[in-house]
Amino acid sequence: MDTRPFRSVLYIPGSKERALEKATGLATDAIIFDLEDAVAIDEKARARELLAERLQSLDYGARAKLVRINALSSEWGADDLDVIAQARPEAILLPKVDEAAHVERLARLLDARSETAETRIWAMMESPAGVLNAAAIARAPRMAGFIMGTNDLAKDMGCRFRPDRLPLMTALQLPLIAAKAAGIVVVDGVYNAFKDEDGLRRECEQGRDMGFDGKTLIHPAQLGVANEVFAPSQEEIALARRQIEAFEAATARGEGVAVVDGKIVENLHIVTAKQILAKADAIAEMTE
């Protein structure tokens, strides 16, 4: 069971030296080093050189490191990959993935170099076609996770932003289900109003309740809320422990079912309880 936390996944424009440095000390589970939409066209070439250098010279510790390159069909994608490959990237995040063939093409390019032998692929889920093809994309070679690109999705669907995200719900859930079926990570989209903490909290809670592993973030001020909401609470941890204890006692008595707080506890609840404890341990290790 992979319990690596992805509660907070912070975007950093690859062109911003100060932010690249600052992130070595930020409480983020993962970082998306962006060469795509957060970097202006005139800055693309400088940003990829800067990022390749910083990835090798700075220490980001246990944080997962994803590099978002430009689409391979764009004029920058192939050069991004060439330069970033020197830094032996842990993962490449591919934008605008419409079909599994896009991932397969990147996988072949990674296969062709020794520096990227271990590099995993993450895919942006940000187009109607991508959403419809999510099941096949999730099972493509080297796939490790989906990132929801909700701004692009809303644009292409012509739908409006609402606090309940009802217009986007199906487009969020199809990739979510595809990710679960394939056993890969899936992270919710960004909350644009980065100074609105209450709104962020509500959207994090909604994403958590739906089953997302965490939230993509655009500003360090958003880290605390995401880390808190996507971590098991003290109450959840305590309940998980009590369920495991009660179930073990029931099993010792030769019974297959226990009761905790007036609710039935079966083996499947114990699987969830153990996952909660494993996640809490992984988070504690991350923040040591």
The torsion angles phi and psi of 57, rounded to 5 degrees, stand at -100, -25
Smallest separation, CB 103 to ligand COA (Å): 20
Residue closest to 124 by CA, chosen among 160, 156, 150: 150
Map the footprint of ligand COA across residues 35-64, applying CB under 6 A.
Answer: 37-38
13 makes contact with ligand COA (CB under 6 A): yes
The one among 190, 239, 280, 282 contacting ligand COA by CB under 6 A: 190
Over the Cα atoms of the chain, what is R_g? 20
6 binds, among ligand COA, Mg ion, none (CB under 5 to 8 A by kind): none
Number of residues that bind ligand COA (CB under 6 A): 15
- Candidate ranges 91-99, 137-145, 217-225, 228-236; the one touching ligand COA (CB under 6 A): 217-225
The one among 149, 175, 207, 214 contacting Mg ion by CB under 5 A: 149
Closest to ligand COA by CB, 11 or 247: 11
218 makes contact with ligand COA (CB under 6 A): yes
152 binds, among ligand COA, Mg ion, none (CB under 5 to 8 A by kind): Mg ion
Map the footprint of ligand COA across residues 88-147, applying CB under 6 A.
Answer: none
Give me the amino acid identity at 263.
K
- Candidate ranges 45-53, 150-158, 163-171, 246-254; the one touching Mg ion (CB under 5 A): 150-158
Smallest separation, CB 127 to Mg ion (Å): 9
23 binds, among Mg ion, ligand COA, none (CB under 5 to 8 A by kind): ligand COA
Residue closest to 58 by CA, chosen among 87, 36, 80, 83: 87
The one among 14, 100, 220, 225 contacting ligand COA by CB under 6 A: 220
23 makes contact with ligand COA (CB under 6 A): yes
152 makes contact with Mg ion (CB under 5 A): yes
| Interface contacts to ligand COA, rule CB under 6 A | 10-13, 18-19, 22-23, 34, 37-38, 190, 218-220
| Interface contacts to Mg ion, rule CB under 5 A | 126, 149, 152
